[in-house]
Amino acid sequence: MLIVLAKARVGEGAMEAARAAVADMVAASNAENGCIAYAFAQDVLDPSVLHIVEKWQDDAALSEHFASSHMAAFGAAIAGLDFTVVEAIKFDTDEGVRVM
């Protein structure tokens, strides 16, 4: 399993404009083959920061995601906004164990 943790910074006034694109991206990504989970969350201490958490079955699924039409649509939707992915890190891991 792969886990991708990413962080985006959204400029003042751009968050509302980005919401529809983010919602579409989350719905389409969660419907992809090989996607285990895909979510964006707004930081409670810094509302200009979005955290992205992704879980993928394998590298092939992640590669298909990056090549998907909804990824291209998302890029086009945020192109005119002050929206910058400042970090994205991929972890190759096992299935994990419950801690609670």
CATH of 2-92, one of 3.40.50.1820, 3.30.70.890, 3.30.70.100, 3.40.50.1970: 3.30.70.100
Find out whether 90 and 62 touch, Cβ atoms under 8 Å: yes
Domain ranges for the chain, please list them. 2-92
Of all residues in the chain, what percent carry a pLDDT higher than 90?
Answer: 96
- Rounded to an integer, the average pLDDT of 9-38 is 96
Write out pLDDT tens, residues 56-75.
999 999 999 999 999 999 99
Find out whether 13 and 88 touch, Cβ atoms under 8 Å: no
Q: Find where tokens 């991929």 sit.
A: 90
